[in-house]
Structure 1
Amino acid sequence: MPKDRPAPDAPAPLVPLVDAHTHLDACGATDAAGVAAALDRAEAVGVSRVVTVADDLDAARFAVEAAHWDTRVWAAVAIHPTRANVLTDEVKAEIESLARDRRVVAVGETGLDYYWPGKLDGCATVEEQVDGFRWHIDLAKRLHKPLMIHNREADHDLLAVLLDEGAPDTVIFHCFSSGPEMAEACVEAGYVLSFSGTVSFRNAHELREAAQLVPDGQFLFETDAPFLTPHPFRGAPNEPYCLPYTARAFAGITGRDPEAAAASATATAERVYRLT
Protein backbone atom coordinates (compact mmCIF):
# COMPACT_ATOMS: atom_id res chain seq x y z
CA MET A 1 0.00 0.00 0.00
CA PRO A 2 1.41 3.43 -0.93
CA LYS A 3 2.46 5.39 2.15
CA ASP A 4 5.04 7.96 1.10
CA ARG A 5 2.56 10.79 0.54
CA PRO A 6 -0.38 12.01 2.62
CA ALA A 7 -3.90 11.00 1.65
CA PRO A 8 -5.42 13.13 -1.14
CA ASP A 9 -7.86 15.89 -0.32
CA ALA A 10 -11.50 15.02 -0.84
CA PRO A 11 -12.62 15.95 -4.37
CA ALA A 12 -15.71 17.93 -5.22
CA PRO A 13 -18.68 15.54 -5.33
CA LEU A 14 -20.10 14.13 -8.56
CA VAL A 15 -23.43 12.49 -9.39
CA PRO A 16 -23.63 9.27 -7.32
CA LEU A 17 -20.80 7.03 -8.47
CA VAL A 18 -20.05 3.33 -8.08
CA ASP A 19 -16.46 2.28 -7.41
CA ALA A 20 -16.49 -0.74 -9.71
CA HIS A 21 -13.34 -2.33 -8.25
CA THR A 22 -11.62 -1.66 -4.95
CA HIS A 23 -9.86 -3.62 -2.19
CA LEU A 24 -11.24 -2.39 1.13
CA ASP A 25 -9.14 -4.82 3.15
CA ALA A 26 -5.91 -3.60 1.53
CA CYS A 27 -7.03 -0.04 2.30
CA GLY A 28 -7.01 -0.95 5.99
CA ALA A 29 -10.79 -1.27 6.34
CA THR A 30 -10.67 -4.74 7.85
CA ASP A 31 -13.64 -4.67 10.23
CA ALA A 32 -17.21 -3.41 10.13
CA ALA A 33 -16.32 -0.06 11.65
CA GLY A 34 -13.48 0.48 9.21
CA VAL A 35 -15.63 -0.43 6.24
CA ALA A 36 -18.38 1.94 7.38
CA ALA A 37 -15.87 4.77 7.85
CA ALA A 38 -14.41 4.26 4.36
CA LEU A 39 -17.88 4.24 2.83
CA ASP A 40 -18.87 7.35 4.77
CA ARG A 41 -15.86 9.18 3.30
CA ALA A 42 -16.79 7.93 -0.15
CA GLU A 43 -20.47 8.76 0.14
CA ALA A 44 -19.61 12.33 1.17
CA VAL A 45 -18.28 12.93 -2.36
CA GLY A 46 -20.95 10.98 -4.21
CA VAL A 47 -19.45 7.47 -4.27
CA SER A 48 -22.49 5.70 -2.89
CA ARG A 49 -21.54 2.05 -3.54
CA VAL A 50 -18.39 -0.01 -4.02
CA VAL A 51 -17.46 -3.49 -5.22
CA THR A 52 -14.69 -4.87 -3.02
CA VAL A 53 -12.69 -7.49 -4.85
CA ALA A 54 -10.75 -10.58 -3.84
CA ASP A 55 -7.40 -11.76 -5.12
CA ASP A 56 -6.92 -14.72 -2.76
CA LEU A 57 -9.06 -16.93 -0.53
CA ASP A 58 -8.74 -14.80 2.61
CA ALA A 59 -9.69 -11.70 0.64
CA ALA A 60 -12.67 -13.56 -0.83
CA ARG A 61 -13.92 -14.45 2.64
CA PHE A 62 -13.46 -10.85 3.74
CA ALA A 63 -15.22 -9.42 0.67
CA VAL A 64 -18.35 -11.43 1.33
CA GLU A 65 -18.31 -10.51 5.02
CA ALA A 66 -17.88 -6.82 4.21
CA ALA A 67 -20.77 -6.93 1.77
CA HIS A 68 -22.99 -8.22 4.56
CA TRP A 69 -21.71 -5.66 7.08
CA ASP A 70 -22.68 -2.65 4.95
CA THR A 71 -25.37 -2.44 2.26
CA ARG A 72 -23.23 0.03 0.31
CA VAL A 73 -20.69 -2.74 -0.31
CA TRP A 74 -20.87 -5.56 -2.86
CA ALA A 75 -18.30 -8.27 -3.48
CA ALA A 76 -16.41 -10.05 -6.25
CA VAL A 77 -14.49 -13.24 -5.53
CA ALA A 78 -11.82 -15.24 -7.37
CA ILE A 79 -8.17 -16.19 -7.19
CA HIS A 80 -5.79 -13.72 -8.86
CA PRO A 81 -3.99 -15.15 -11.92
CA THR A 82 -0.57 -14.87 -10.27
CA ARG A 83 -1.90 -17.15 -7.51
CA ALA A 84 -3.65 -19.63 -9.80
CA ASN A 85 -1.26 -22.34 -8.58
CA VAL A 86 -3.24 -22.55 -5.31
CA LEU A 87 -6.44 -23.61 -7.09
CA THR A 88 -6.84 -27.04 -5.53
CA ASP A 89 -10.21 -28.77 -5.54
CA GLU A 90 -10.77 -27.52 -1.98
CA VAL A 91 -10.00 -23.90 -2.89
CA LYS A 92 -12.22 -24.10 -5.97
CA ALA A 93 -15.08 -25.46 -3.87
CA GLU A 94 -14.83 -22.61 -1.36
CA ILE A 95 -14.53 -19.93 -4.04
CA GLU A 96 -17.61 -21.35 -5.74
CA SER A 97 -19.52 -21.41 -2.46
CA LEU A 98 -18.59 -17.79 -1.77
CA ALA A 99 -19.42 -16.75 -5.33
CA ARG A 100 -22.95 -18.07 -4.89
CA ASP A 101 -23.61 -15.56 -2.10
CA ARG A 102 -26.34 -13.07 -2.99
CA ARG A 103 -24.00 -10.15 -2.21
CA VAL A 104 -21.41 -11.34 -4.75
CA VAL A 105 -21.94 -9.54 -8.05
CA ALA A 106 -19.00 -10.86 -10.10
CA VAL A 107 -16.41 -13.59 -10.40
CA GLY A 108 -13.09 -11.80 -10.23
CA GLU A 109 -10.44 -10.80 -10.38
CA THR A 110 -9.21 -13.51 -12.72
CA GLY A 111 -7.41 -13.50 -16.05
CA LEU A 112 -3.79 -13.53 -17.18
CA ASP A 113 -0.73 -11.67 -15.94
CA TYR A 114 2.39 -12.12 -18.08
CA TYR A 115 4.42 -9.50 -16.23
CA TRP A 116 5.17 -11.38 -13.00
CA PRO A 117 6.13 -14.95 -14.00
CA GLY A 118 9.89 -15.26 -13.62
CA LYS A 119 10.04 -12.09 -11.52
CA LEU A 120 7.94 -13.01 -8.48
CA ASP A 121 8.77 -16.01 -6.31
CA GLY A 122 5.93 -18.50 -6.24
CA CYS A 123 4.07 -16.84 -9.12
CA ALA A 124 1.83 -19.14 -11.12
CA THR A 125 3.16 -20.16 -14.51
CA VAL A 126 1.43 -19.09 -17.69
CA GLU A 127 0.00 -22.60 -18.05
CA GLU A 128 -1.38 -22.53 -14.50
CA GLN A 129 -2.88 -19.10 -15.13
CA VAL A 130 -4.61 -20.24 -18.30
CA ASP A 131 -6.06 -23.27 -16.51
CA GLY A 132 -7.26 -21.09 -13.64
CA PHE A 133 -8.75 -18.55 -16.02
CA ARG A 134 -10.67 -21.26 -17.85
CA TRP A 135 -12.09 -22.53 -14.55
CA HIS A 136 -13.22 -19.03 -13.51
CA ILE A 137 -14.86 -18.48 -16.91
CA ASP A 138 -16.83 -21.68 -16.45
CA LEU A 139 -17.79 -20.65 -12.91
CA ALA A 140 -19.07 -17.26 -14.06
CA LYS A 141 -21.17 -18.88 -16.76
CA ARG A 142 -22.61 -21.50 -14.42
CA LEU A 143 -23.56 -18.84 -11.85
CA HIS A 144 -24.75 -16.32 -14.47
CA LYS A 145 -22.53 -13.63 -12.98
CA PRO A 146 -20.16 -11.17 -14.69
CA LEU A 147 -16.53 -12.14 -15.21
CA MET A 148 -14.06 -9.53 -13.92
CA ILE A 149 -10.73 -9.72 -15.73
CA HIS A 150 -7.19 -8.80 -14.69
CA ASN A 151 -5.03 -8.35 -17.78
CA ARG A 152 -1.35 -7.51 -17.74
CA GLU A 153 0.60 -7.81 -20.98
CA ALA A 154 -1.64 -10.65 -22.19
CA ASP A 155 -4.05 -9.02 -24.64
CA HIS A 156 -3.93 -11.63 -27.40
CA ASP A 157 -4.08 -14.70 -25.19
CA LEU A 158 -6.89 -13.29 -23.05
CA LEU A 159 -9.11 -12.72 -26.07
CA ALA A 160 -8.15 -16.12 -27.46
CA VAL A 161 -9.12 -17.95 -24.25
CA LEU A 162 -12.41 -16.06 -24.03
CA LEU A 163 -13.17 -17.00 -27.63
CA ASP A 164 -12.18 -20.62 -27.08
CA GLU A 165 -14.18 -21.04 -23.87
CA GLY A 166 -17.09 -18.86 -24.87
CA ALA A 167 -17.32 -15.66 -22.86
CA PRO A 168 -19.98 -15.13 -20.18
CA ASP A 169 -22.78 -12.71 -20.98
CA THR A 170 -20.92 -9.92 -19.18
CA VAL A 171 -17.15 -9.45 -19.23
CA ILE A 172 -15.50 -6.57 -17.39
CA PHE A 173 -11.88 -5.61 -18.02
CA HIS A 174 -10.85 -4.20 -14.66
CA CYS A 175 -8.28 -1.39 -14.74
CA PHE A 176 -8.19 -1.37 -18.52
CA SER A 177 -4.63 -0.47 -19.43
CA SER A 178 -4.20 -1.49 -23.07
CA GLY A 179 -4.13 0.61 -26.21
CA PRO A 180 -6.69 1.53 -28.85
CA GLU A 181 -6.45 -1.75 -30.79
CA MET A 182 -7.41 -3.77 -27.71
CA ALA A 183 -10.12 -1.26 -26.82
CA GLU A 184 -11.66 -1.61 -30.27
CA ALA A 185 -11.62 -5.42 -30.00
CA CYS A 186 -13.26 -5.33 -26.56
CA VAL A 187 -15.90 -2.80 -27.58
CA GLU A 188 -16.76 -4.85 -30.66
CA ALA A 189 -17.12 -7.97 -28.48
CA GLY A 190 -19.46 -6.11 -26.14
CA TYR A 191 -17.09 -6.17 -23.17
CA VAL A 192 -17.13 -3.47 -20.50
CA LEU A 193 -13.94 -1.51 -19.80
CA SER A 194 -13.31 -0.19 -16.29
CA PHE A 195 -11.00 2.81 -16.01
CA SER A 196 -8.86 3.52 -12.96
CA GLY A 197 -6.57 6.39 -11.98
CA THR A 198 -4.12 5.33 -14.68
CA VAL A 199 -6.28 7.10 -17.27
CA SER A 200 -5.29 10.37 -15.59
CA PHE A 201 -1.55 9.69 -15.92
CA ARG A 202 -0.04 12.07 -18.44
CA ASN A 203 2.36 9.46 -19.81
CA ALA A 204 -0.42 6.91 -20.49
CA HIS A 205 -0.77 8.03 -24.09
CA GLU A 206 -2.15 4.80 -25.59
CA LEU A 207 -4.59 4.30 -22.73
CA ARG A 208 -5.89 7.85 -23.07
CA GLU A 209 -6.33 7.26 -26.80
CA ALA A 210 -8.17 4.01 -26.06
CA ALA A 211 -10.55 5.75 -23.64
CA GLN A 212 -11.83 7.92 -26.45
CA LEU A 213 -13.09 4.83 -28.32
CA VAL A 214 -15.37 3.49 -25.59
CA PRO A 215 -19.07 4.39 -25.90
CA ASP A 216 -21.59 5.02 -23.17
CA GLY A 217 -22.82 1.75 -21.72
CA GLN A 218 -19.38 0.12 -21.94
CA PHE A 219 -17.29 1.98 -19.38
CA LEU A 220 -17.02 1.92 -15.61
CA PHE A 221 -14.91 3.86 -13.12
CA GLU A 222 -12.85 2.23 -10.38
CA THR A 223 -10.14 3.07 -7.89
CA ASP A 224 -8.38 -0.31 -7.51
CA ALA A 225 -7.58 1.21 -4.11
CA PRO A 226 -5.21 1.41 -2.38
CA PHE A 227 -3.27 1.45 -5.65
CA LEU A 228 -3.22 3.60 -8.80
CA THR A 229 -4.09 6.89 -7.13
CA PRO A 230 -5.05 9.40 -9.83
CA HIS A 231 -3.00 12.42 -10.87
CA PRO A 232 -1.88 14.66 -9.18
CA PHE A 233 -1.71 12.33 -6.16
CA ARG A 234 0.42 9.45 -7.53
CA GLY A 235 2.28 7.81 -4.66
CA ALA A 236 -0.43 8.67 -2.13
CA PRO A 237 -2.79 6.03 -0.70
CA ASN A 238 -5.92 5.60 -2.77
CA GLU A 239 -9.41 5.06 -1.40
CA PRO A 240 -12.94 4.95 -2.88
CA TYR A 241 -13.50 8.63 -2.05
CA CYS A 242 -10.87 9.50 -4.69
CA LEU A 243 -13.02 8.16 -7.56
CA PRO A 244 -14.33 11.58 -8.74
CA TYR A 245 -10.77 12.52 -9.73
CA THR A 246 -10.70 9.62 -12.19
CA ALA A 247 -14.20 10.34 -13.47
CA ARG A 248 -13.29 13.95 -14.21
CA ALA A 249 -10.03 12.93 -15.91
CA PHE A 250 -11.88 10.47 -18.13
CA ALA A 251 -14.49 13.09 -18.97
CA GLY A 252 -11.83 15.59 -19.95
CA ILE A 253 -10.00 13.10 -22.16
CA THR A 254 -13.16 11.94 -23.93
CA GLY A 255 -14.86 15.32 -24.27
CA ARG A 256 -17.74 14.47 -21.97
CA ASP A 257 -19.40 16.54 -19.29
CA PRO A 258 -18.20 15.12 -15.94
CA GLU A 259 -21.72 14.76 -14.58
CA ALA A 260 -22.82 12.96 -17.75
CA ALA A 261 -19.81 10.64 -17.62
CA ALA A 262 -20.51 9.84 -13.97
CA ALA A 263 -24.18 9.16 -14.67
CA SER A 264 -23.30 6.89 -17.60
CA ALA A 265 -20.76 4.87 -15.60
CA THR A 266 -23.18 4.51 -12.70
CA ALA A 267 -25.98 3.31 -14.96
CA THR A 268 -23.61 0.75 -16.48
CA ALA A 269 -22.48 -0.44 -13.05
CA GLU A 270 -26.08 -0.85 -11.92
CA ARG A 271 -26.86 -2.84 -15.06
CA VAL A 272 -23.85 -5.16 -15.22
CA TYR A 273 -23.66 -5.81 -11.48
CA ARG A 274 -27.46 -5.86 -11.07
CA LEU A 275 -27.23 -3.52 -8.10
CA THR A 276 -30.40 -2.90 -6.14
Structure 2
Amino acid sequence: MAATRSSVPDKNAAPPLPEPLAVPVADSHTHLDMQAGTVDEALAKAASVGVTAVVQVGCDLGGSRWAAETAERYENVHAAVALHPNEAPRIVHGDPDGWSRQGARQAGGMAALDAALEQIAALAALPQVRGVGETGLDYFRTGEEGVEAQTYSFRRHIEIAKRYDKALVIHDRDAHDDVLRVLAEEGSPRTVVFHCYSGDAAMAKVCADAGYHMSFAGNVTFKNAQPLRDALAVAPAELLLVETDAPFLTPAPYRGRPNAPYLIPLTLRAMAQVKGVDEDTLAAAVAANTARVFGY
Protein backbone atom coordinates (compact mmCIF):
# COMPACT_ATOMS: atom_id res chain seq x y z
CA MET A 1 0.00 0.00 0.00
CA ALA A 2 1.32 3.43 -0.85
CA ALA A 3 2.21 5.60 2.12
CA THR A 4 -0.22 8.36 2.87
CA ARG A 5 0.98 11.88 3.52
CA SER A 6 0.33 11.50 7.25
CA SER A 7 2.32 8.25 7.47
CA VAL A 8 5.47 9.68 5.87
CA PRO A 9 7.86 10.83 8.62
CA ASP A 10 8.77 14.51 8.64
CA LYS A 11 12.50 14.75 7.97
CA ASN A 12 12.63 17.90 10.07
CA ALA A 13 10.82 16.38 13.03
CA ALA A 14 12.77 15.47 16.15
CA PRO A 15 12.96 11.71 16.74
CA PRO A 16 11.10 10.38 19.80
CA LEU A 17 12.76 9.92 23.17
CA PRO A 18 14.56 6.57 23.44
CA GLU A 19 14.35 4.29 26.44
CA PRO A 20 16.43 5.89 29.23
CA LEU A 21 19.82 4.51 30.17
CA ALA A 22 20.13 3.03 33.64
CA VAL A 23 23.74 4.20 33.90
CA PRO A 24 24.21 7.90 33.01
CA VAL A 25 26.69 8.87 30.30
CA ALA A 26 27.96 12.03 28.60
CA ASP A 27 27.76 13.18 25.01
CA SER A 28 31.46 13.71 24.32
CA HIS A 29 30.97 15.92 21.25
CA THR A 30 27.99 18.07 20.34
CA HIS A 31 27.15 21.44 18.80
CA LEU A 32 24.27 22.89 20.80
CA ASP A 33 24.64 26.20 18.96
CA MET A 34 23.62 24.47 15.71
CA GLN A 35 20.54 22.77 17.18
CA ALA A 36 16.95 23.96 17.52
CA GLY A 37 15.66 25.07 20.91
CA THR A 38 17.43 26.41 23.97
CA VAL A 39 20.35 25.00 25.90
CA ASP A 40 18.10 24.40 28.88
CA GLU A 41 15.67 22.41 26.74
CA ALA A 42 18.45 20.32 25.19
CA LEU A 43 20.01 19.52 28.56
CA ALA A 44 16.69 18.65 30.19
CA LYS A 45 15.72 16.35 27.35
CA ALA A 46 19.12 14.64 27.45
CA ALA A 47 19.02 14.22 31.22
CA SER A 48 15.60 12.60 30.99
CA VAL A 49 17.17 9.64 29.16
CA GLY A 50 20.39 9.42 31.18
CA VAL A 51 22.68 11.76 29.24
CA THR A 52 23.78 14.00 32.09
CA ALA A 53 26.70 15.96 30.61
CA VAL A 54 27.80 17.24 27.22
CA VAL A 55 30.99 18.54 25.67
CA GLN A 56 30.15 21.61 23.58
CA VAL A 57 32.63 21.94 20.72
CA GLY A 58 33.61 25.13 18.92
CA CYS A 59 34.57 25.21 15.25
CA ASP A 60 35.57 28.86 14.82
CA LEU A 61 36.26 31.87 17.02
CA GLY A 62 32.61 32.77 17.52
CA GLY A 63 31.59 29.20 18.24
CA SER A 64 34.53 28.67 20.59
CA ARG A 65 33.67 31.80 22.57
CA TRP A 66 30.06 30.61 22.79
CA ALA A 67 31.21 27.18 23.99
CA ALA A 68 33.34 28.72 26.74
CA GLU A 69 30.57 31.10 27.82
CA THR A 70 27.97 28.31 27.88
CA ALA A 71 30.23 25.98 29.86
CA GLU A 72 30.75 28.76 32.40
CA ARG A 73 26.97 29.05 32.89
CA TYR A 74 26.11 25.34 33.04
CA GLU A 75 27.79 22.88 35.39
CA ASN A 76 27.08 19.92 33.12
CA VAL A 77 28.40 21.57 29.93
CA HIS A 78 32.13 21.36 29.21
CA ALA A 79 33.78 23.27 26.39
CA ALA A 80 36.28 22.44 23.67
CA VAL A 81 37.64 25.29 21.53
CA ALA A 82 39.39 25.35 18.17
CA LEU A 83 39.46 26.38 14.57
CA HIS A 84 37.97 23.53 12.53
CA PRO A 85 40.41 22.23 9.88
CA ASN A 86 38.27 23.81 7.16
CA GLU A 87 38.30 27.14 8.98
CA ALA A 88 42.08 27.58 8.65
CA PRO A 89 42.11 27.88 4.82
CA ARG A 90 39.16 30.25 5.01
CA ILE A 91 41.11 32.60 7.26
CA VAL A 92 44.27 32.37 5.19
CA HIS A 93 42.71 32.54 1.73
CA GLY A 94 39.52 34.45 2.39
CA ASP A 95 37.32 31.67 1.05
CA PRO A 96 33.81 32.55 2.28
CA ASP A 97 32.75 28.90 2.31
CA GLY A 98 35.60 27.90 4.57
CA TRP A 99 37.31 25.78 1.93
CA SER A 100 37.59 25.53 -1.82
CA ARG A 101 38.74 22.98 -4.35
CA GLN A 102 39.48 25.79 -6.76
CA GLY A 103 42.19 28.42 -6.34
CA ALA A 104 41.22 30.56 -3.37
CA ARG A 105 42.05 34.25 -3.33
CA GLN A 106 44.65 35.44 -0.86
CA ALA A 107 43.18 37.52 1.96
CA GLY A 108 44.16 37.35 5.62
CA GLY A 109 47.27 35.23 5.18
CA MET A 110 49.13 33.33 7.86
CA ALA A 111 49.29 36.39 10.13
CA ALA A 112 45.51 36.35 10.40
CA LEU A 113 45.57 32.63 11.18
CA ASP A 114 48.18 33.21 13.89
CA ALA A 115 46.04 35.95 15.42
CA ALA A 116 43.01 33.67 15.48
CA LEU A 117 45.03 30.87 17.03
CA GLU A 118 46.20 33.18 19.79
CA GLN A 119 42.56 33.86 20.65
CA ILE A 120 41.91 30.11 20.74
CA ALA A 121 44.88 29.72 23.08
CA ALA A 122 43.45 32.37 25.42
CA LEU A 123 40.15 30.50 25.53
CA ALA A 124 41.93 27.16 26.07
CA ALA A 125 43.44 28.54 29.28
CA LEU A 126 39.99 28.94 30.87
CA PRO A 127 39.06 26.33 33.51
CA GLN A 128 35.70 25.46 31.95
CA VAL A 129 37.43 24.66 28.65
CA ARG A 130 38.31 20.98 28.86
CA GLY A 131 39.50 20.31 25.33
CA VAL A 132 41.26 21.80 22.31
CA GLY A 133 39.36 20.82 19.21
CA GLU A 134 37.94 19.99 16.90
CA THR A 135 41.19 20.28 15.02
CA GLY A 136 43.02 18.04 12.58
CA LEU A 137 42.88 17.48 8.83
CA ASP A 138 39.99 17.26 6.38
CA TYR A 139 40.84 16.25 2.82
CA PHE A 140 37.20 15.68 1.88
CA ARG A 141 36.31 19.37 1.57
CA THR A 142 39.72 20.99 1.21
CA GLY A 143 41.85 20.75 -1.90
CA GLU A 144 45.63 20.84 -2.09
CA GLU A 145 45.73 24.62 -1.69
CA GLY A 146 44.31 24.29 1.82
CA VAL A 147 46.56 21.55 3.17
CA GLU A 148 49.38 23.85 4.27
CA ALA A 149 47.07 26.04 6.34
CA GLN A 150 45.30 23.03 7.83
CA THR A 151 48.54 21.32 8.79
CA TYR A 152 50.00 24.49 10.32
CA SER A 153 46.79 25.05 12.31
CA PHE A 154 46.76 21.43 13.48
CA ARG A 155 50.34 21.68 14.72
CA ARG A 156 49.54 24.87 16.61
CA HIS A 157 46.48 23.29 18.23
CA ILE A 158 48.63 20.36 19.38
CA GLU A 159 51.00 22.82 21.03
CA ILE A 160 48.10 24.66 22.70
CA ALA A 161 46.67 21.41 24.07
CA LYS A 162 50.05 20.48 25.52
CA ARG A 163 50.61 23.99 26.93
CA TYR A 164 47.41 23.83 28.99
CA ASP A 165 47.23 20.05 29.41
CA LYS A 166 43.82 19.83 27.73
CA ALA A 167 42.44 16.92 25.71
CA LEU A 168 43.13 17.20 21.97
CA VAL A 169 39.92 16.53 20.01
CA ILE A 170 40.72 15.46 16.45
CA HIS A 171 38.66 15.82 13.29
CA ASP A 172 40.06 13.33 10.79
CA ARG A 173 38.34 13.03 7.43
CA ASP A 174 40.08 11.16 4.62
CA ALA A 175 43.43 12.04 6.21
CA HIS A 176 44.26 9.14 8.54
CA ASP A 177 47.93 8.69 7.67
CA ASP A 178 48.76 12.39 7.79
CA VAL A 179 46.92 12.92 11.08
CA LEU A 180 48.85 10.10 12.71
CA ARG A 181 52.11 11.37 11.17
CA VAL A 182 51.66 14.93 12.44
CA LEU A 183 50.78 13.66 15.91
CA ALA A 184 53.96 11.58 15.94
CA GLU A 185 56.09 14.44 14.65
CA GLU A 186 54.77 16.97 17.16
CA GLY A 187 54.49 14.59 20.08
CA SER A 188 50.91 14.06 21.14
CA PRO A 189 49.35 15.64 24.24
CA ARG A 190 48.66 13.47 27.27
CA THR A 191 45.08 12.90 26.08
CA VAL A 192 43.94 12.51 22.47
CA VAL A 193 40.42 11.83 21.20
CA PHE A 194 39.57 10.86 17.64
CA HIS A 195 36.14 12.45 17.41
CA CYS A 196 33.62 10.64 15.21
CA TYR A 197 36.15 7.88 14.66
CA SER A 198 36.32 7.10 10.95
CA GLY A 199 39.22 4.69 10.57
CA ASP A 200 39.24 0.94 10.11
CA ALA A 201 40.17 -1.85 12.50
CA ALA A 202 43.87 -1.64 11.64
CA MET A 203 43.92 2.05 12.52
CA ALA A 204 42.00 1.35 15.72
CA LYS A 205 44.83 -0.94 16.80
CA VAL A 206 47.37 1.81 16.03
CA CYS A 207 45.33 4.26 18.10
CA ALA A 208 44.99 1.78 20.94
CA ASP A 209 48.74 1.15 21.01
CA ALA A 210 49.29 4.92 21.25
CA GLY A 211 46.64 5.31 23.97
CA TYR A 212 44.40 7.48 21.79
CA HIS A 213 40.70 7.52 22.63
CA MET A 214 38.12 6.76 19.97
CA SER A 215 34.70 8.38 20.09
CA PHE A 216 31.93 6.73 18.06
CA ALA A 217 28.92 8.59 16.69
CA GLY A 218 25.57 7.65 15.20
CA ASN A 219 27.09 6.60 11.89
CA VAL A 220 28.28 3.39 13.55
CA THR A 221 24.62 2.31 13.28
CA PHE A 222 24.40 2.85 9.52
CA LYS A 223 24.00 -0.22 7.31
CA ASN A 224 27.08 0.63 5.24
CA ALA A 225 29.31 1.19 8.29
CA GLN A 226 30.67 -2.31 8.83
CA PRO A 227 34.30 -1.04 8.80
CA LEU A 228 33.41 1.22 11.73
CA ARG A 229 31.84 -1.66 13.61
CA ASP A 230 34.96 -3.75 12.92
CA ALA A 231 37.06 -0.94 14.40
CA LEU A 232 34.79 -0.68 17.42
CA ALA A 233 35.05 -4.42 17.98
CA VAL A 234 38.83 -4.24 18.45
CA ALA A 235 38.97 -0.90 20.31
CA PRO A 236 39.64 -1.36 24.05
CA ALA A 237 36.72 -0.44 26.30
CA GLU A 238 38.93 1.88 28.36
CA LEU A 239 39.53 4.05 25.26
CA LEU A 240 35.92 4.35 24.09
CA LEU A 241 33.68 7.42 24.12
CA VAL A 242 30.23 8.03 22.63
CA GLU A 243 29.01 11.19 20.93
CA THR A 244 26.29 12.64 18.75
CA ASP A 245 28.16 15.31 16.72
CA ALA A 246 24.64 16.74 16.73
CA PRO A 247 22.87 18.01 14.75
CA PHE A 248 24.69 15.65 12.36
CA LEU A 249 24.94 11.84 12.10
CA THR A 250 21.60 10.91 13.63
CA PRO A 251 21.64 7.18 14.44
CA ALA A 252 19.40 4.62 12.78
CA PRO A 253 16.47 4.34 12.45
CA TYR A 254 16.26 8.16 12.31
CA ARG A 255 19.11 8.88 9.92
CA GLY A 256 18.52 12.20 8.16
CA ARG A 257 16.47 13.72 10.95
CA PRO A 258 17.87 16.23 13.49
CA ASN A 259 20.30 14.79 16.00
CA ALA A 260 20.61 15.90 19.62
CA PRO A 261 22.28 14.65 22.83
CA TYR A 262 19.14 12.81 23.98
CA LEU A 263 19.69 10.27 21.18
CA ILE A 264 22.95 8.99 22.69
CA PRO A 265 21.21 5.86 24.07
CA LEU A 266 20.58 4.59 20.51
CA THR A 267 24.26 4.75 19.63
CA LEU A 268 25.44 3.37 22.94
CA ARG A 269 23.13 0.36 22.66
CA ALA A 270 24.39 -0.35 19.15
CA MET A 271 27.96 -0.11 20.43
CA ALA A 272 27.22 -2.53 23.26
CA GLN A 273 25.86 -5.04 20.78
CA VAL A 274 29.02 -4.80 18.67
CA LYS A 275 31.21 -5.20 21.77
CA GLY A 276 29.14 -8.12 23.04
CA VAL A 277 28.52 -6.55 26.45
CA ASP A 278 25.40 -5.32 28.20
CA GLU A 279 24.60 -1.64 27.88
CA ASP A 280 25.11 -0.88 31.59
CA THR A 281 28.65 -2.25 31.48
CA LEU A 282 29.54 -0.19 28.42
CA ALA A 283 27.80 2.91 29.78
CA ALA A 284 29.80 2.72 33.00
CA ALA A 285 33.06 2.42 31.07
CA VAL A 286 32.20 5.24 28.67
CA ALA A 287 31.08 7.52 31.51
CA ALA A 288 34.33 6.96 33.41
CA ASN A 289 36.40 7.46 30.26
CA THR A 290 34.68 10.74 29.37
CA ALA A 291 35.09 12.16 32.86
CA ARG A 292 38.76 11.20 32.87
CA VAL A 293 39.46 12.57 29.39
CA PHE A 294 37.82 15.94 30.01
CA GLY A 295 38.76 16.20 33.67
CA TYR A 296 35.38 16.84 35.26
* Same-fold call, TM cutoff 0.5: yes
Q: CA deviation at 1:117?
A: 1.6
CA distance in 1, matches of 2:25, 2:172: 24
Alignment-derived partner of residue 11 in structure 1: 18
Deviation at 1:95, TM superposition (A): 0.8
Note if 1:102 corresponds to 2:106. Answer: no
Distance in structure 2 (CA, Å) of the matches to 1:260 and 1:36: 29
Instruction: Map 1:1-276 onto structure 2 (within 5 A).
Output: 4-14=11-21, 15-29=23-37, 34-85=38-89, 86=91, 88-118=113-143, 125-275=146-296
Q: TM (normalized to structure 2)? A: 0.87
Q: In 1, Cα distance between the equivalents of 2:155 and 2:118?
A: 15
User: Which secondary structure does the structure 2 equivalent of 1:125 belong to?
Assistant: helix
Bigger-Rg structure (1/2): 2
Q: CA deviation at 1:84?
A: 1.2
Contact (CA 8 Å) 2:134, 2:171: kept in 1 or not? yes
Q: Compare relative contact order (CA 8 Å, sep 6+) and give the higher one, 1 or 2.
A: 1
Contact 2:158 2:188 in 1 (8 A): yes
How far apart, CA to CA, are the structure 1 residues paired with 2:69 and 2:224? 38
SS at match of 1:233: coil
Instruction: Tell me the distance in 2 between the aligned counterparts of 1:5 and 1:96.
Output: 37
Rounded Cα–Cα distance in structure 2 between residues aligned with 1:109 and 1:124: 21
Supply the distance in 2 between the matched residues of 1:6 and 1:256 (Cα, whole angstroms).
32
**Gap regions ≥5 residues in structure 2:** 1-9, 92-111
The one-letter code sitting in structure 1 at the alignment partner of 2:121 is E
CA distance in 1, matches of 2:83, 2:114: 13
Question: Which stretches of structure 1, 4 residues or longer, exceed 2 Å deviation after superposition?
Answer: 85-90
Q: Secondary structure at the match of 1:127?
A: helix
Q: Deviations over 1:181-239 (max 9, x none)?
A: 11111011100000000111111011110000111210000000000000000011000
Number of corresponding residues: 265
Q: CA–CA distance in 2 between the matches of 1:45 and 1:5?
A: 21
TM-score by length of 1: 0.93
